[in-house]
Structure 1
Amino acid sequence: MPTDIHFIINPSAGTEEPVADLIREAFLESPASFDISITTSPEHLQRAIAAIKGTTQLVAVYGGDGTVMEAAKALHNSITPLFILPGGTANVMAKEIGMPATTAEALVLLASGDFEIKAVDMGIINGCPFLIRVNIGILADMITETSPETKERFGQWAYGLTAFREMPKQGTTFQVNVDGENSALTAVGLTVTNAGNIGVKGMSFLPGISVSDGWLDLVSLDESSILKLLQVSGSILLQKESPLLHHQKLQHIKITSSTPIDFLCDDQPQRASELNISIAPASLHIAYPKNNADETN
């Protein structure tokens, strides 16, 4: 149980709640000391963590996936562990590791010490660490083209609605080198993912994707239609492998195309002429609820 905790709060996260008051209430009878910082931007969060990592026993971050991803980047290759307080809409990483669904429950877990620190993987894309995944094609469009109003109304299912609306008629051909093997890959969408969860508790892209297995996973969809997307959705709901989704585990992949590639890296839109993506095994220390840590060992 850490006795020195630094909380970082993103007040613009998707959930409105009195986080500082919840922290003080949860630690009212705890011997642990803590500090609270408010982050105002990704750059501010990076600076705040740079100033405290290695000097505090644990960094607890409240916010959505964007906040968690930035914190993970700042703690990459650090001995200082990360504790996630879910404060967003999707909370993908919190669900990936089995954290409680609410901030109050997560704080009870933290104050009780009923968690374990475990090393998990990160990815590296063009020299920059990422936590969850890189999306290209329809798997990126379904996120960037979903309006805040649709997301507010339908939650995570809004992305699926956008996918149906934005279906491309044909795929893009990429030149890929996977662990030294060259090939051409034509797809309407692909992801190079470190984590399996898709923002719904217990649901992964495909079975067997783990944030702590020392591998990245390439998942691609070669063509789209309403029927095919319904079939893929059914496979995800049933947590079964789908013949429509091509799945390959890898350590490194290089992706090029005849035109610059638009992609999302941990939900941040970017563009590059070439993507070099590698696994960074066990490069982030993160707090798991004890029962989930035991299940993933």
Structure 2
Amino acid sequence: MGSFNEVMAAVAFVINGTLAKAGGRFLPLCHAAAARAGWTPEFHITGKAEAGVAAARDAAADGADLVVAVGGDGTVRGCAEGLANTGIPLGIVPVGTGNLLAATLGIPAHARAALAVVLGTRGTRCADRRIDLATADGAPFTAMAGMGLDAAVVAATRLKHHFGWLAYAMSGAVHLALPPARFTISMDGGAPVERDARSVVVGNSGLLPGGFTLLPDARIDDGLLDVGILAPHGPFGWPKVATRVLTHSRHQDRHLVRFQARTVQITAHSTLPREVDGELVTPDRTLTVSVQPGALIVRAPLAG
């Protein structure tokens, strides 16, 4: 499949405002790429994910044929919410932190190469793909949400905009000794699962920052959520979990167990930090996650 330009002429770029301030490089880069490919561009510079929601909705209402999120997972999440169930495709230029959905889709990490994919230029082979959205307490997200250690790591990370996944890894190492919490996890109305665990995560995608796979069976278009309960015990617990993540192992035991469901209710016996797509949400004792099958169209490279 080649260029989409014969049928799609108007593209709206939603650019993370902090990136736009960094020398203003990304706005002219997107403008030049659109001009070369024959698109008519418009630009929305945003400061928060909520602004991305409104920008994407406005662009869709104004007749945009394609909306491109230029930023990290927060920018992508905002645009995905704004475009959910509209039929307008979302393109991604992953130039922020995390970039979990972009990595799952195989979108290049380099901005120029990603623009070539989303705009259908340079002989790139791309297609519009329908994927699922998940919601955490009603708010859409694209990759992963969780309670416990993963959210504590996000809360303690102060350098992620400069060091990306390395900042998560550094913060994670500091928090490995935190005590476990008691969780009750209910899935699809079945019998609750009780666990003492460090973290419970629910993924639409199975990737962690850095490209590591925590949930190897997670698929963004299968209509299911994948649940991971991390409960390492003893001096060898964390090394065992790390080995399984690094080797994409599906082995399960008390250290790491996985489930699949369409709705997930997580209840902790104490108030814990919570995160959605690498961004903190208000600490609480519960997190309810559900899936919206096929709610979003994304533009991605074709395999091969």
- Tell me by how many angstroms 1:226 deviates: 5.6
Q: TM-score under structure 1 normalisation?
A: 0.88
- Tell me by how many angstroms 1:14 deviates: 10
- Cα 1:204–1:223 change in 2 (3 A) is closer
Cα distance in 2 for partners of 1:170, 1:257 equals 13
Whether the 8 Å CA contact 1:262–1:272 is kept in 2: the answer is: yes
Cα distance in 1 for partners of 2:72, 2:166 equals 17
Equivalenced residue count is 289
Q: Which residue of 3, 12, 31 corresponds with 1:6?
A: 12
Cα distance in 2 for partners of 1:230, 1:121 equals 32
Cα distance in 2 for partners of 1:143, 1:275 equals 16
Whether the 8 Å CA contact 1:15–1:89 is kept in 2: the answer is: no
Q: Which range is displaced more, 250-259 or 114-123? A: 250-259
**Aligned counterpart, 1:179:** 188
Whether the 8 Å CA contact 2:95–2:109 is kept in 1: the answer is: no
Whether the 8 Å CA contact 1:170–1:223 is kept in 2: the answer is: no
- Tell me by how many angstroms 1:172 deviates: 1.5
The one-letter amino acid of 1:176's match is I
Q: Deviations over 1:184-235 (max 9, x none)?
A: 222111101111121334x321322111111101101123556322222222
Cα distance in 2 for partners of 1:45, 1:230 equals 39
**Aligned counterpart, 1:265:** 276
Q: Deviations over 1:225-273 (max 9, x none)?
A: 5632222222222222243310111111122233334311222222334
Cα distance in 1 for partners of 2:53, 2:182 equals 36
The one-letter amino acid of 2:148's match is G
The one-letter amino acid of 2:12's match is H
**Aligned counterpart, 1:196:** 206
Q: TM-score under structure 2 normalisation?
A: 0.86
Cα distance in 2 for partners of 1:58, 1:212 equals 20
1:25 is the counterpart of 2:37: no
Q: Which range is displaced more, 227-236 or 246-255? A: 227-236
Q: Which residue of 75, 94, 99 corresponds with 1:91?
A: 99
Cα distance in 2 for partners of 1:75, 1:91 equals 18
Q: Which residue of 279, 290, 294 corresponds with 2:302?
A: 290
Cα distance in 1 for partners of 2:103, 2:96 equals 11
The one-letter amino acid of 2:120's match is S
**Aligned counterpart, 2:249:** 240
Cα distance in 2 for partners of 1:87, 1:182 equals 42
1:133 is the counterpart of 2:177: no
Cα distance in 2 for partners of 1:258, 1:166 equals 19
- Cα 1:226–1:115 change in 2 (3 A) is farther
**Aligned counterpart, 1:121:** 132
Cα distance in 2 for partners of 1:257, 1:29 equals 53
Moved over 6 A (4+): none
1:205 is the counterpart of 2:214: yes
Cα distance in 2 for partners of 1:186, 1:126 equals 23
- Cα 1:257–1:24 change in 2 (3 A) is closer
Q: Deviations over 1:84-106 (max 9, x none)?
A: 01111332111111001111111
Cα distance in 2 for partners of 1:275, 1:179 equals 14
Q: Which range is displaced more, 56-65 or 258-267? A: 258-267
Q: Which residue of 100, 110, 121 corresponds with 1:102?
A: 110
Whether the 8 Å CA contact 1:151–1:159 is kept in 2: the answer is: no
Cα distance in 2 for partners of 1:226, 1:70 equals 40
Whether the 8 Å CA contact 2:20–2:27 is kept in 1: the answer is: no
**Aligned counterpart, 2:58:** 51
SS at match of 1:205: coil
Cα distance in 2 for partners of 1:13, 1:275 equals 31
Cα distance in 2 for partners of 1:288, 1:120 equals 11
SS at match of 2:35: coil
- Cα 1:126–1:59 change in 2 (3 A) is same
Whether the 8 Å CA contact 1:206–1:240 is kept in 2: the answer is: no
